[in-house]
Structure 1
Amino acid sequence: MYEIGGLIIIGVVAQWIAWRLRVPAILPLILAGILIGPGWEWYSGHRLVSPRFDSEAGTGLFPGNLLYSFVSLSIGLILFEGGLTLRLREIRGLADSIFRLTTYGAFTTTVVAGLAAHFVMGLNWQIAFLFSTLIVVTGPTVIAPIMRQINVKRQVATVLKWESIVIDPVGAFLAVLFYNFIVAYYDPQATIYEALVKFVQSGLVGIGLGFVFGHILFILISRLYIPKFLLNIFTLGAVVGAFLVSDSIAHESGLLTTVVMGAYLANRDVPFLDDILDFKESLTLLLISLLFILLSANMTVEQITLVLTKESLFVFLIVVVLARPLGVFWSLRSSELTWRDKAFISWVGPRGIVAAGVASLFGIELAKEGIADAEYITPLVFLIVLGTVLLNATLAGLVARKLKVSLPKGSSVLIFGASEGARQLANSLQESGRDVTLVTPNRAAADVAEEDNLTAITIPIDADLDRHMDLSDIGYILALTGSDEDNFYLLNTYRSREGIRGAFRLVTRKEIQAQRFNDEALFGHYASYLLFNRAARNFGEVQALEIDDPKQIGSLLAQLRQEKAIPLYLRCAEYGDITFITANEGTLSVTTGDTLYFLGEPLTQTSPPTGQKERKIEA
């Protein structure tokens, strides 16, 4: 009882320390596990916590293979929660990159890391490639905290998130395949063909049952066969049941079943999905805390000393500076991502709970069989996990800034309304490197926005937005609805939130009549909701004009308004920051090379001011 209670307390404290220090929680969790396990054993001769039950000493938590079962089932629940965040609309234009990264990239890492483990560490071929399959995974448990700390372009963050969740079951399957190969190699009664058949069978069963159980759960929830007060616990039971059924049919297929099941629900209109996701996030946080502490506490002093060598360090460097970049650049060679994006993705490759969990389990099983070099599996994988997380947690922000893939803090834009004008503005902002989210109660308008590759959320205007999206990096609020009352309500609700750099709305009819404008009134002296959207329909695209002479910005804006064009915002050439044009212009800070975006006809070469360079961005 005291050991279990102590583990929960240590896990909570470690998570809090990680939050205070702004590092992924895996760092304090693994260090805490090592401290109460092998660290305390080295210091005093006994462990504070023994994950595996020792019948002779009468201590420990999990007898027999129960630790294996607990870890496997917990990882399945973690991957289900990850699957719930995989919405297909996020990867429009990125699906091919993610597929290549989780196939070609994984293959490259497997080959390079396997060769390094064999030739540098001297491990036999079987153990070397089992190790390499285990470290291809970049877990969401460590990617997500790192992405929350640094604000990078949405394309880059989306690729990293999807890769981390999709690659987990792929890596686990590769590890299972090589594990079965090793068993077949050393067991005269088994064959390599049987191992390959088991691998294919596990994949088909995992994908098929994931869709089946996901659809059944969707029907039960959408038809309200489950009362709301039982929804979370029923979903938990359904996921556990799906995992057990899948695993009983095909060994190690449960992980893939839970990922597919979560992704299926994420892409259907499931009632109360946010409530389920909130519950699963809390449960996942507890499971991650327990797993990392248990697995690191289960290591021995002898295992740790095995990898405290220069050969192990060299293997680690090969994985980080050769295997990962080679896999990323090869798999993304035909991608639209820039070389800077690819370089950053190459750097961010922290390993997570699947690598640590499966390595611990396989290491134990192979060591019991007396297979040579099996004792290296667990500590070597933990070295990769701890080292990659430490590097990424400390240097990812610096690397993002040096590669210019990061955005200024609070650079995301939240637009209320999804009219044609709002969509064209959102498209232009995305082209300028902003993360944009549209919020509307109109499902049809949201569908049109998503067809334009925009992120749209369908909720009532007065809904609690925090329950539907992460507002931590929202810097600008734009109220572009057709109701003046709603626009004022939205600004009053959100303008005082921490991190908001600007809150703006469309001008009202009264302001247009009186020609008196507040600093928060957008675009122009006549840019009401009707005229703003009429301009969007008439002109059909957002124009961009590079400014050569900052002193002419006033006359340029006057000319645009004289021609009934609507100026939208300025983009700083040096820093990439944006400034929205308001009806009460005041003093705009403009430098040479900045870009003005507007709705209107392209300015002719003879139109004042002279000397402007013009280019067009399709909306």
Structure 2
Amino acid sequence: MYEIGSLIIIGVVAQWIAWRLRVPAILPLILAGILIGPGWELYTGHRLLSPRFDSDAGTGLFPGNLLYSFVSLSIGLILFEGGLTLKLKEIRGLADSILRLTTYGALTTTVIAGLAAHYVLGLNWQIAFLFSTLIVVTGPTVIAPIMRQINVKRQVATVLKWESIVIDPLGAFLAVLFYNFILAYYDPQATVYNSLIKFLQSGLVGIGLGFVLGRLLFILISRLYIPKFLLNIVTLGFVVGAFLLSDAIAHESGLLTTVVMGAYLANREVPYLHDILDFKESLTLLLISLLFILLSANMTVEQIRLVLNQESLVVFLIVVFLARPLGVFWSLRTSELGWRDKAFISWVGPRGIVAAGVASLFGIELAEEGITHAEYITPLVFLIVLGTVLLNATLAGFLARKLKVSLPKGSGVVIFGASEGARQLAHSLVESGRDVTLVTGNRAERDIAQEQHLTTIQVQFNSDLLDSKLDLTDIGYVLALTGNDEDNFYLLNNYRSREGIRGAYRLVTRKEIQAQRFGPEALFGHYVSYLLFNRAARNFGTVNAIQLLDPDELPNLIAQLREERAIPLYLRCTEHGDITFIPAGDRPLSVSPGDTLYYIGEPLPSVNRSAARQLARPVEA
């Protein structure tokens, strides 16, 4: 009882320390596990915590293979929570990059890391490539906190998030395949053919059962067969049951089943999905805390000493500075992502709980089988996990700024209304690297916006469901662009004081146009009502851009645009990537050489070339 209670308390304290120090929680969690396990044993001769039960000493938490079962089931629940965040609309235009990264990129890492482990450390081929398959996975539990801290461009963050969640079960499967091959190699009764058949069976069962059970859970929730007060606990039991059923049918297929279930639910209109996700996030936080402490405490002093040498450091450097960059640049060579984006993605590759968990389990089992060099698996993978997390947590923000892939905090935009003008503005902001969400009560507008690959929510503005459906995480700007002045004022009053909101704006009202007096939150121009805004969007059909060479020329350019009945939208700062929306009134704006002015309208017939230059590529709606 005391050990379990202390484990939870240590996990909570480690999470709090990570929050205070702004580092991924994996660092204090692993260090805490090493301290109470092999670290304490080194200095006192006994452990404060023994994850595996020792019958001779009468100490430990998990007898037999129960530690293996607990770790497997916990990882399944963690991956289900990750799957709940996989919305297909996020990867429109990026699906090919993610597919290549999780195949070609993983293959590159496997080959290079396996060769390094064999030739540098002298591990036999079987153990060397088992190690390399274990470290192809990047951890969503580590990448998510890093992305929250540095706020990179949407495309880069999406690729990293999807790669980390998709590669986890695939990497685990690949490790299982090599694990079975090793057993087949040393067991005269087993064959490689049988191992391959089991691998394919696990994949098919995981995908098929995940889809079927995800569909069944969706029906149960959407048809209200589950009362709301039991929703979280029933969902938890359903996921556990799905994992056990899948694993009973095909060994090690449960991880893929839970990911597919989560992804299926994420892409359907599931009632109370936000509540389920909140519960699963809290549960995942607890499980991650327990797992990292248990697994690091389960290592021995001898295992740690195995990797405290120059050869292990060389393998680590090869994985980080050769395998990962080569895999990223090769797999993304045909992607539209720029070299700066690829360079940042190649740096951010922290390994997480799946690598650590599966390595611990396989290391234990192979060592008990007497396989040569099996004792290297667990400490070597933990070295990669700790090293990559430490490097990424400390340098990712610095590199993001140097590579110019980071955005200012609070850079997301919510646009209320999804008319043609709002959609053109949204497309332009997305092209500028912004996360944009359109909110409309009109189903036809929602359908058109979604067909144009814009993130769109359909909900009435005065509905109690608005706050539950709208995620304000990292939202900095709120634009009320509806055709109803009362709705626009209501929305601004409701959201302008929310935490993190940097600016709340609306279209001008009829009274303001008549009086030619505009509030500080009025947008775009003296005449830009809802009707004229959308008429211009229909007539012009494009968002164009002008790069400012002389900042003093900005007022003249805006005046010239308004004379042409074009609509100036916003300025984008070249140096910091920040945006400033053009006010309706004549308020002075801060601008620097190289900043870009975006507007709805045709290219200006005459531009002072010494003061500005018209950019060639418009943003098509």
Instruction: Give the TM-score normalised by structure 2.
Output: 0.97
- Equivalents in 2 of 1:327, 1:607: separation in Å? 46
Q: Which has the larger displacement, 531-540 or 22-31?
A: 531-540
Provide closer, same or farther for how the CA distance between residues 228 and 571 of structure 1 changes in structure 2, counting only shifts above 3 A. same
Q: Which has the larger displacement, 433-442 or 260-269?
A: 433-442
Q: Percent identity?
A: 82
Post-superposition Cα deviations, 1:59-84, rounded to whole Å, max 9, x if no partner, equal 11110000000000000010011011
1:580 to 2:618 alignment = no
1:204 to 2:190 alignment = no
- Equivalents in 1 of 2:197, 2:574: separation in Å? 57
Give the equivalent residue in structure 2 for 1:240.
240
Give the equivalent residue in structure 2 for 1:279.
279
Give the equivalent residue in structure 1 for 2:590.
589
- Equivalents in 2 of 1:464, 1:268: separation in Å? 17
Give the equivalent residue in structure 2 for 1:259.
259
Provide closer, same or farther for how the CA distance between residues 160 and 41 of structure 1 changes in structure 2, counting only shifts above 3 A. same
Post-superposition Cα deviations, 1:468-505, rounded to whole Å, max 9, x if no partner, equal 45534222221112222222122222222333322111
Contact 2:553 2:611 in 1 (8 A): no
Contact 1:545 1:613 in 2 (8 A): yes
Post-superposition Cα deviations, 1:525-574, rounded to whole Å, max 9, x if no partner, equal 11111221121112111121233443332232223222322111122233
- Equivalents in 2 of 1:423, 1:384: separation in Å? 45
Contact 1:555 1:609 in 2 (8 A): no
The one-letter amino acid paired with 1:617 is: V
- Equivalents in 2 of 1:607, 1:380: separation in Å? 62
Q: Describe the SS at the equivalent of 2:505.
A: strand
- Equivalents in 1 of 2:606, 2:232: separation in Å? 63
- Equivalents in 1 of 2:119, 2:547: separation in Å? 56
Give the equivalent residue in structure 2 for 1:569.
570
Q: Mapping of 1:285-434 within 5 angstroms?
A: 285-434=285-434
Q: Mapping of 1:92-103 within 5 angstroms?
A: 92-103=92-103
1:132 to 2:101 alignment = no
Give the equivalent residue in structure 2 for 1:441.
441
- Equivalents in 1 of 2:128, 2:587: separation in Å? 66
Give the equivalent residue in structure 2 for 1:455.
455
Give the equivalent residue in structure 1 for 2:39.
39
Contact 1:548 1:613 in 2 (8 A): no
Provide closer, same or farther for how the CA distance between residues 188 and 559 of structure 1 changes in structure 2, counting only shifts above 3 A. same
1:550 to 2:528 alignment = no
Q: Mapping of 1:65-80 within 5 angstroms?
A: 65-80=65-80
Q: Describe the SS at the equivalent of 2:457.
A: strand
Contact 1:556 1:608 in 2 (8 A): no
5+ residue gaps, structure 2, are: none
Q: Describe the SS at the equivalent of 1:109.
A: helix
- Equivalents in 2 of 1:209, 1:299: separation in Å? 35
Q: Describe the SS at the equivalent of 1:246.
A: helix
Post-superposition Cα deviations, 1:564-610, rounded to whole Å, max 9, x if no partner, equal 22111122233332211111121122333332211223221389998
Q: Describe the SS at the equivalent of 1:413.
A: strand
The one-letter amino acid paired with 1:286 is: L
Post-superposition Cα deviations, 1:233-271, rounded to whole Å, max 9, x if no partner, equal 111111111111110111000000110111111111111
- Equivalents in 1 of 2:15, 2:441: separation in Å? 37
Q: Mapping of 1:8-19 within 5 angstroms?
A: 8-19=8-19
Q: Mapping of 1:150-169 within 5 angstroms?
A: 150-169=150-169
- Equivalents in 2 of 1:594, 1:363: separation in Å? 55
Q: Describe the SS at the equivalent of 2:144.
A: helix
Give the equivalent residue in structure 1 for 2:499.
498
Contact 1:545 1:595 in 2 (8 A): yes
Q: Describe the SS at the equivalent of 1:210.
A: helix
Q: Describe the SS at the equivalent of 2:524.
A: coil
Shift, 1:403, TM fit: 1.0
Q: Which has the larger displacement, 519-528 or 572-581?
A: 572-581
Give the equivalent residue in structure 2 for 1:486.
487
Q: Which has the larger displacement, 317-326 or 499-508?
A: 499-508
Contact 2:547 2:612 in 1 (8 A): no
- Equivalents in 2 of 1:534, 1:548: separation in Å? 30
Contact 2:548 2:611 in 1 (8 A): no
Provide closer, same or farther for how the CA distance between residues 606 and 110 of structure 1 changes in structure 2, counting only shifts above 3 A. closer
Give the equivalent residue in structure 1 for 2:143.
143
Q: Describe the SS at the equivalent of 1:567.
A: strand
Contact 2:131 2:377 in 1 (8 A): yes
Q: Which has the larger displacement, 294-303 or 494-503?
A: 494-503
Post-superposition Cα deviations, 1:281-322, rounded to whole Å, max 9, x if no partner, equal 111111111111111111111111111011111100000000
Q: Describe the SS at the equivalent of 1:219.
A: helix
Provide closer, same or farther for how the CA distance between residues 606 and 570 of structure 1 changes in structure 2, counting only shifts above 3 A. closer
The one-letter amino acid paired with 2:255 is: L
Q: Describe the SS at the equivalent of 1:503.
A: strand
Contact 1:552 1:609 in 2 (8 A): no
Q: Mapping of 1:100-119 within 5 angstroms?
A: 100-119=100-119
- Equivalents in 1 of 2:582, 2:107: separation in Å? 50
Contact 2:49 2:60 in 1 (8 A): yes
- Equivalents in 2 of 1:460, 1:42: separation in Å? 63
Contact 1:53 1:60 in 2 (8 A): yes
Give the equivalent residue in structure 1 for 2:514.
513
Instruction: Give the TM-score normalised by structure 1.
Output: 0.97
Shift, 1:467, TM fit: 4.0
Post-superposition Cα deviations, 1:18-66, rounded to whole Å, max 9, x if no partner, equal 1111111101111111111111111211111111111111111110000
Post-superposition Cα deviations, 1:59-114, rounded to whole Å, max 9, x if no partner, equal 11110000000000000010011011111110001111111111111111011000
